[in-house]
Every structure is written in C-alpha cells, then in structure tokens.
Amino acid sequence: MEFYEVVNRRRSIRQFEDREIPREILERILGAGLKAPSSNHQRRWELLTLTEKPLILDLAKIIKPYPCRITEPKTPQQEMFKIAYPRQRRMIEESACVILPLFKQKYAFENDKNGYGLMDYGATWALVENMLLAATAEGLGSVVHIPVRKEPEQIKEFLKIPDGWYLPTLVILGYASPDAEVPSQVKATVENKVRWNKW
C-alpha cells in the first residue's frame, strides 16, 4: 500500500474478527515501530507482545468499560464517546494481539529534569504511530487504550513488569470486523490547521 494511502486509511478500529495474525506480519509491525526516532538514539523501549488468547482475556479484566450516556451524538467527539467508551474492555477481548510499548523511565515527569522524561515519552509515541501505520499497511485494524487510574500499576503487576518502566498505552491489533463502527472525524486539513510563517 502506498504511504499516503496508508496515512489516509488509518482509523481507530474497536471491533475485531476472531482470527489470528501470522507471526511474520506481527514481526514486520514490531520492526516498523522499532525504527522510530528516539531520544539520543538510546531506544529505551521494550515491546511486551501478547498473542495468547487466555493471557489477553485476563489482561482485559483489568480494563474497566466506561459508561456513556450519550444516545444521540451531536458532534464527532460525542460520536466517538458513544462508540469507544463501552468497548474499552471488549476491544481487548476481541483482539488478536496486544502490544505494550514500555520505556525505561530515567526521570519522573514531576522531576525538574522533566524535559528528558518527555523526550522518551514522545519517542514512544513515535514508535506507536509507526506500528499503527504498519498495521494499516498490513490490512489490520488497530486502536490504542491509554491506561487510567489504577490500570497502569495493575497491568504491570499482572505481567510482572519490573519497576522503572513506564506504560503510556496499549496497542491493540486484529482483523477489523466488517461492521466495525468508526466515528466521523473533525476535519484537519492544510487549509484549516496550518499557519505559514506567522500565527
């Protein structure tokens, strides 16, 4: 798939078919992530990749479905809430693979050297975006779940992740269900979001 077609096709998919992803496809997606730029070329990442269904189902139990009282969305954001909130656990249960991109946290975010911590955080999101685009190129659906409240520590405890590793998100992969609901998007174009040479 041509690069700009991949960029235009990438959407957050939260409903998946009951179908495994071949290992070679996953390795290409993981490899694409690991090609991302990183702070000082240090690549302080580890990708904990879950493909065993019982493990994925146990992980999903940690994630709480969010309530959503919106029945008739009036904005793209409300439409996203209506689709996404109730599926936070279910999309993990249905997925074929969950990738945990962890980075070694040298500086806590509240530390006065916070900027260095944000470099590693930002680099990890570059890695995530590479994987989302690679998944699209491979014909897969993908979405992220950002752990909230007690979820990060519960996930780390469940998977026996050592101290000092930070988990910004879960990357969830699978073959998209043909009837997967996808919300409309706020238009972001060069014409309405780019300022040239001055504010």
How sure is the predictor about 118, in pLDDT bands with cuts at 50, 70 and 90?
A: confident
pTM of the model: 0.92
184 or 33, higher pLDDT: 33
50-62 average pLDDT score: 98
6-15 average pLDDT score: 94
* Distances, alpha carbon 63 to alpha carbons 59, 107, 136, 142, in Å: 7, 27, 25, 17
Task: Give the pLDDT confidence score for residue 186 in this predicted structure.
Answer: 84
Is the pLDDT score of 106 beyond 80?
no
Exposed / middle / buried, residue 46 (Cβ in 10 Å: 0-12, 13-18, 19+): middle
How sure is the predictor about 113, in pLDDT bands with cuts at 50, 70 and 90?
A: low
Task: Give the pLDDT confidence score for residue 23 in this predicted structure.
Answer: 98
